[in-house]
Amino acid sequence: MSQSQCVECMKEPTEEELYRMLDEILEDYKTKPGGLIPALQVAQKMFGYLPKEALQLIAKKLDKPYSEVTGVVSFYSFFSTVPRGKYIVRVCLGTACYVRGGKEVLSGLEKELNINVGQTTPDGLFSIDVGRCFGACGLAPVIMVNDNVHQRVKAEKVGEILDYYKDQESAMLKEKVG
């Protein structure tokens, strides 16, 4: 394979190509009972969030009212209709985490990233969200960065956690360039 072909393989698909792929994928969910949530998960993974056009396509292909599709999206907190950061930082504010400093951890994150809950950093790297229980009450306070759980987090240490992910990004960029 030539170098130009290799570069071609690494290109991100265009938005048009993503919609074409989603249209094909939705064929598999048309007749599956309970296929709406998995279809939404696939679309969110493809786009990074659920744009209105994707929701309309899902509603049309699954023969569901648009209101039903948007109702499901607004009910479940893991769906987003706005672009999210590469790293979604979720702070547990369930009872144990709240009592053990979860609110302070959230404030520390907001200060460190200079954004609020539901927002994304201008570089598109981080978004902040909250959850009610991550099932790790004995390890409170807990945050999750994507699927990684960080336990017994202190507000004054959130910068170190964020630096780890920033360093990961730097390493990946160096690898791509070098």
Q: Which two tokens stand for residue 120?
A: 């994304």
Q: Look at residues 16, 31, 25, 23 and name the one whose alpha carbon lies nearest to residue 56.
A: 23
Q: Where in the chain is the domain with CATH 3.40.30.10?
A: 87-177
On average, the pLDDT of the chain sits at 89
Decide if pLDDT at 10 tops 60. no
Cα angle: 171, vertex 177, 178; to 5 degrees: 85
Query: Over 60: is that where the pLDDT of 145 sits?
Result: yes
Contact 102, 91 (CB under 8 A): yes
User: What pLDDT is stored for residue 116 in this prediction?
Assistant: 95
If pLDDT is split at 50, 70 and 90, which confidence band does 13 have? confident
Give pLDDT tens digits for 103-112: 999 999 999 9
107-130 mean pLDDT? 94
pLDDT at 77 over 80: no
* pTM of the predicted structure, to 2 decimals: 0.70
Each residue of 51-65: pLDDT tens digit? Answer: 999 999 999 999 999
Measured CA to CA, the distance from residue 82 to residue 20 in angstroms comes to: 21
What is residue 172's predicted lDDT score, i.e. its pLDDT? 83
Q: Does domain 87-177 have CATH number 3.90.220.20?
A: no
